[in-house]
Chains A and B, each alone.
Chain A
Amino acid sequence: MNDLSRIEKGTPVASSEAGTDSAVAVLIPRTSLSEKLLRIVMPFAVLGTVVAIWHAIVVINNLPPYILPSPPRVIQALIEDWGTLWPAMMITTKITFMALALALIGGVGFAIFLVQSKWVELAFYPIAVILQVTPIIAIAPLILIYAPSTQAALLICAFLVAFFPILSNMVQGLKSVDHNLLNLFELYGASRWQTLLYLKLPASQPYFMAGLRIGGGLALIAAVVAEFAAGSAGAESGLAFRLLESQFRLNIPRLFAALILLSLLGIAIFAVTTLISWLALHRWHESSVRREN
C-alpha cells in the first residue's frame, strides 16, 4: 500500500547537512552560578536598602506611627492583627482566583464561539467591548444592588474585568493561525473539532498566556476596587475593606500590613501565571526561549 516502504531501510534518501545540524548537539554554555546568585541577591539588596532608608527616616524625624510607622512597627501590626488580616487575605485570594478561573473558562469559551462565524462575531463582539470600555467602578454600585451578596458582587466585578483581556487575546489567537496550516488540515479532511483541538487552540497558547497574565493582575485590582466601592462587607470582608477600616481608625501600621499582604498576593498571582506561561511555552515559543546570538 505504502509505496515508500519499498525504499530499503537503513539507506536514507537524504543525509543531514553536517555543518548546520551538528550545531544542535553542541553544549550550550550554562549561566554561571555566581550570575544566578546575583540574580536573586540583587533585587533583595535593593528592597532591603529601601526598607532601611524608610526606617532611618522614621527614626531620624521621630515620626509617630499614625503618620508613618517604622518597618518593625508594621511587622508587629502584621503579627498582632494576623487573626483579622489572614482571613481577609483568604477572602480576597478566593475572589480573585475564582474570578480568574471563571474569566478563563468564559473568555476562552466565548472566543471559540465568536470565531465560529463572521456573523456571530459581528453580532456579539460589540457587547463584550461595551462591557470592557465601561469603567467597572461605575457599574459596581449597580452590581451591588442586584447581586445576592457583597461577595458575589465582588466576584462579578473581578470576573468582568479579567474576562475581556482573555477574550480579546483568545479571539486574536484563534484568528491568527497560519493559513497554510489551515490548508493542510483541510487537505487531510480534518473535522472542525480536530482543527480546533490540534491547531487553533495550541496555536493560540501564546495569546492565551498573555491574556492570563493580564487577566490575573486585573482580577486582583478589580476585587480590591470593587470592595472599596462596596464599603462595608460585614464579617466576610477582604483585604481592601480592612485597609479602608484601618484608615478610618487611623491604625496606619495595620494599613501598611494589609498593603504588604495585598502586594504579596499580587506577586503570587504574577509568579503563578508567569510560571504557567513558561511551562506551556518554553519549549517552542520565541517569547519564552532564551535568546542566543
Chain B
Amino acid sequence: MTAAMATVREQDPIYDQQPGKGRLVVKMRSVTKVFSNGTLALSNMSMDIGAGEFVSLLGPSGCGKSTALRIIAGLGRPSSGTIDWPSSRINSRGLPEGDVGFVFQEPTLMPWQTVFGNVFLPLRLQGKTKAGSRERIMETLAMVGLADFANAYPRELSGGMKMRVSIARALITGPKLLLMDEPFAALDEITRQKLNDDVRRLWQRSGVTVIFVTHSVYEATYLSNRIVVMRARPGEVYRDLAMPEAEERDVHFRSSEEFQASSALVSRTLLEAISVGGADHE
C-alpha cells in the first residue's frame, strides 16, 4: 500500500518540470475566460503539456474543462493570458496548423456522408484528393476496427462505432495533439471500457499527446499518466497529480493495489476540489 502511494507524486498546480519529456506541446499561462454573459469560466489557469503525455482534465461539471479544451484547440480565444503551441507551426490566424485532432462528446459526424467521407473531411479541407487519401483512410479505419464499414452511413452505426469514426477522423491528419471532451460519457459501460482500452493502446503505439476530459475518477486513473484536477467557480487548476508509471493498463492493472491507491487519492482530491470550490448542484 505504502509502496503504491509512493509512486503517486503530488505536484504544484503549475507544472514546471516535465519528467523525461523536454518538448512542450501546449503552454497555457494565466488563461482567463469570461463569456459575454459575464460567466467567469476559467480563472488564471496555467498548464504545460509535454509531448507524448496522456493527461486527464478531471473536475465537477461546469468547472470549465470544455472551455479549457476549446482554448487549447484554438477555438475561442482567452479573455486574458496566453496559449501557445511551442512545437507546432503557427498559421496566419495564430493557430496550430493541422496539429490538433478533436473528439467531441457527441460523435459529431456529417449524416450525409459515409464513414469514409467523414474521415476524409480533414484531408479534404487541406485540399487532398479522395483517391490520393484512400489508402490512409482505409488504414486508419482498420486501426479503429471499422474497415468493413467505410461505405456505411452514420445512422447505420451503433453509438460506439460512431465514436470510433470520430476518433479515426481526429487521427487522420496525424496530429501531435489529440483532444477528447468526455468522448465516451454517453456510452454504455462495456463499450466505454473497450474504447478506453483502444485509446490507451493507440496512445502507446503512436506517441500522440492526449488531453482527455472526463468527470470519471475511474476513467482518469485508468487512462492517464497525469491528472489535472480542476475546481469550479472560478474554474482553475486545483491539483496536478502524476499517475503510476504502469505500462500495461488492463484487467490486472484495474485490480492492482497501485490502481486502487491512485483512484483513492484522485477521488479524495476531487472531493476536496468540490468542497473548496462550488460545484454544480443539479
Contacts and interface: CB of A to CB of B under 8 A. Distances in A.
24 contacts: A3-B207, A4-B206, A10-B142, A12-B143, A13-B143, A13-B145, A14-B145, A14-B146, A14-B194, A16-B148, A16-B161, A20-B160, A24-B157, A181-B110, A184-B104, A187-B102, A189-B91, A189-B93, A198-B124, A198-B125, A202-B110, A283-B112, A284-B111, A284-B154
Interface of A: 1-7, 9-10, 12-17, 20-21, 24, 178, 180-181, 183-190, 194, 198-199, 202-203, 205, 283-286, 289
A16 B145 contact: yes
A187 B75 contact: yes
Contacts of A15: 145
A183 B102 CA distance: 10
B8 interface: no
A113 to B, nearest CB: 23
Contacts of A4: 140, 143, 171, 174, 202, 206, 208
Interface residues of B, number: 57
Contacts of A186: 75
B108 A284 contact: no
Nearest to B95: A189
A16 B146 contact: yes
Nearest to A285: B111
B179 to A, nearest CB: 9
A160 B46 CA distance: 58
Closest 4 CB pairs of A and B: A2-B174, A14-B145, A20-B158, A14-B198
B153 interface: yes
Given A13-B202, A187-B73, A202 B112 contact: yes
B158 A7 contact: no
Contacts of B93: 189
B226 interface: no
Given A189-B97, A289-B155, A14 B112 contact: no
Given A187-B73, A202-B112, A14 B143 contact: yes
Nearest to A283: B153
A196 B205 CA distance: 37
B270 interface: no
Interface in B70-129: 70, 73-75, 91, 93, 95, 97-98, 100, 102, 104, 106, 108, 110-113, 121-122, 124-126
A3 B208 contact: yes
A2 B172 CA distance: 9
Nearest to B152: A24
A202 B140 CA distance: 25
Given A1-B174, A3-B208, A6-B205, A17 B125 contact: no
B26 to A, nearest CB: 15
B195 interface: yes
Nearest to A25: B148
Contact of B201 (A1, A13, A21, A194): A13
B144 interface: yes
B191 interface: yes
